[in-house]
Chain A
Amino acid sequence: MSQTNGNHILQTDKATIRFGGLVAVNELTMNVAQGEIYGLIGPNGAGKTTIFNLLTGVYEPTSGDIRIAGKRVNGMKPYEISRLGVSRTFQNIRLFPSMTVLENVITACHRHSKQNLADAVFRLPRFHKDEGEHREFALDLLRIFNLEKYKNEGGTSLPYGNQRRLEIVRALATRPQLLLLDEPAAGMNPIEQQDLTGLIKEIRDKFNLTVVLVEHNMRVVMGVCDRIQVIDYGKSIALGLPQDIKNDPKVIEAYLGD
Chain B
Amino acid sequence: MSSWTKSLAIAAVLIAVIYVINAMMSAGGFFGTGIDDYQARLLVFIAINIILATSLNLINGFTGQFSIGHAGFMAVGAYSSAYFSVTYGKTIEASLASLGETAAVSVVLLIAIAIGALVAAVMGLIVGIPSLRLKGDYLAIVTLGFAEIIRIVILNIDVVGGATGYQVPGYANFLWIGIFTVITVIVVHNIVRSDTGRALISIREDELAAEAMGVNTTRYKVTSFVIGSAFAGIAGVLFAHYNKFLSTNDFQFIKSFEIIIMIVIGGMGSMSGAILGAIVVTLLPEVLRYMQDVQNQNVEPMLGIDLPFNIGDLRLVIFALILILTMIFRPQGILGTREFGLSWLKRPMRAPEGGDAGSDEGTPIAQQPAARRLENEEDKDR
Contact = CB atoms under 8 A, between A and B. Distances in A.
- Is the A/B pair a real complex? yes
Interface of A: 56, 58, 77-79, 82-83, 87-88, 90, 94-100, 102-103, 106-111, 113, 115, 117, 119-123, 127, 130-131, 134, 152-154, 156-157, 170-171, 173-174
Nearest to A132: B381
B367 A102 contact: no
Given A115-B195, A123-B190, A152-B374, A98 B213 contact: no
Interface residues of B, number: 45
B366 interface: yes
Nearest to B227: A117
Main secondary structure on A side of the interface with B: helix
A110 B215 contact: yes
Query: Chain B: interface secondary structure?
Result: helix
Interface of B: 3-4, 7, 187, 190-191, 193-199, 201-202, 205-206, 208-217, 223, 269, 337, 353-356, 360, 365-371, 373-375
Contacts of A110: 195, 198-199, 202, 213-215
Given A107-B198, A130-B195, A77 B211 contact: yes
A97 B365 contact: yes
A79 B211 contact: yes
Nearest to A94: B209
B370 A100 contact: yes
Given A90-B209, A121-B190, A123-B190, A100 B214 contact: no
Given A79-B215, A79-B217, A113-B195, 15 more contacts: A77-B211, A78-B211, A79-B216, A82-B213, A88-B212, A96-B206, A97-B365, A103-B198, A106-B198, A110-B215, A117-B191, A123-B7, A153-B371, A154-B371, A157-B354
Given A96-B206, A110-B199, A152-B374, A123 B4 contact: yes
A87 B369 CA distance: 28
Contacts of B368: 154, 157
Given A83-B214, A174-B214, A98 B3 contact: no
A82 B209 contact: no
Contact of B353 (A120, A123, A127, A157): A157
Given A106-B198, A123-B190, A153-B353, A98 B365 contact: yes
16 contacts: A78-B208, A79-B212, A83-B214, A88-B212, A95-B209, A96-B209, A103-B370, A115-B195, A119-B194, A120-B195, A120-B196, A122-B190, A123-B7, A152-B374, A154-B367, A170-B213
A96 B355 CA distance: 16
Nearest 4 A/B pairs, CB to CB: A120-B194, A96-B205, A157-B354, A82-B214
A117 B230 CA distance: 15
B209 A79 contact: no
Nearest to A105: B213
Given A107-B199, A127-B194, A130-B195, A98 B367 contact: yes
A111 B215 CA distance: 7
B236 to A, nearest CB: 21
A101 B215 CA distance: 18
B270 to A, nearest CB: 11
